């Protein structure tokens, strides 16, 4: 079968997707129409990119449905609020489905950081990458690329490898991803605090207790 991981972007206060998000959806539709065996996994819930009461992934889902993608081909969106969480949550969904073929779709300006994270999180999976048009004016595109370069440098400098979800028997650190709706987390790049917190939650179940 295979899973197409559709990385979200932003929506406005009325729930309308940005041109960047729409371009990613349109590219996803093209890929899904070519390969009828693929399912699609929309990503993103709440954060700086979405301050409405509806998850960003739901807006992506509605767009796909409105453009002819069957409901049964769309997986439940991830409850995530930044790129690292998108990819960690996607790994869980893919592993639980028993799939090992993954296509990761995002914009060209976002791709270098996504590749860095995916190559460390999607170990053991057959992964390929697809880019959507940026759909940005030239000056904004340059600014986006510069911003992403800074984020990639930060991600690389702070990255710490963590135990990865490999099946239901291993358990999943759901606390990382809970309450994204109520908290409306306002961050989009990786910070040392986030990585430290993820490490603690991932490792804690495996540590011996003195009690």
Q: With the C-alpha atoms ordered 39, 179, 201, 207, is the resulting torsion angle positive or negative? A: negative
Beta bridge partners of 39: 3
DSSP one-letter string for 96-119: HHT--EEEEEEEGGGHHHHHHHHH
CA-to-CA distance for 95 and 80, rounded, in angstroms?
17
Whole-number Å distance between alpha carbons of 106 and 149 = 15
| Residue extents of the structural domains in the chain | 3-206
From residue 112, give the alpha-carbon distance in Å to each of 32, 137, 174, 179: 23, 20, 27, 29
Contact 105, 34 (CB under 8 A): no
CA distance from start to end of the chain: 46
Q: Give the pTM.
A: 0.78
pLDDT at 33: 97
**Tens place of pLDDT per residue across the chain (211 aa):** 899 999 999 999 999 999 999 999 999 999 999 999 999 999 999 999 999 999 999 999 999 999 999 999 999 999 999 999 999 999 999 999 999 899 999 999 999 999 999 999 999 999 999 999 988 888 898 999 999 999 999 999 989 887 788 875 555 444 444 444 333 443 344 444 444 455 444 444 444 444 4
Q: Which residues contact 172 (CB under 8 A, 6 or more apart)?
A: 92, 165
CATH no. for 3-206: 3.40.50.620
Distances (CA, A) of 132 to 50, 108, 119, 171: 21, 6, 19, 34
Contact assessment for residue 135 and residue 22, using Cβ atoms and an 8 Å cutoff: yes
């Amino acid at each position: 079968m295979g899973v197409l991981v559709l990385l979200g972007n932003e929506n406005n206060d009325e729930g309308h997707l940005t041109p960047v998000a729409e371009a990613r959806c349109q590219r996803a539709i093209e890929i899904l129409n070519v390969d009828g065996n693929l399912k699609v996994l929309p990503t993103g819930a709440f954060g700086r990119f979405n301050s409405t009461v509806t998850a960003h992934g739901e807006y992506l889902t509605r767009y796909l449905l409105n453009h002819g993608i069957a409901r049964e081909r769309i997986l439940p969106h991830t409850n995530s609020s930044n790129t690292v969480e998108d990819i960690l949550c996607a790994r869980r969904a893919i592993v639980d489905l028993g799939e090992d073929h993954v296509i990761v779709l995002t914009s060209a300006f976002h791709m270098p950081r996504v590749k860095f994270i995916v190559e460390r999180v999607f170990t053991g999976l057959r992964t390929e990458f697809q880019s959507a048009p940026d759909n940005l004016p030239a000056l904004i595109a340059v600014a986006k690329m510069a911003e992403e370069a800074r984020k990639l440098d930060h991600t690389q400098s702070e990255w710490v490898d963590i135990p990865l979800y490999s099946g239901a028997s291993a358990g999943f650190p759901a606390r990382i991803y809970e309450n994204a709706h109520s908290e409306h987390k306002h961050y989009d790049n990786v910070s040392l605090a986030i990585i430290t917190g993820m490490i603690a939650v991932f490792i804690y179940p495996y540590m011996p207790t003195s009690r």
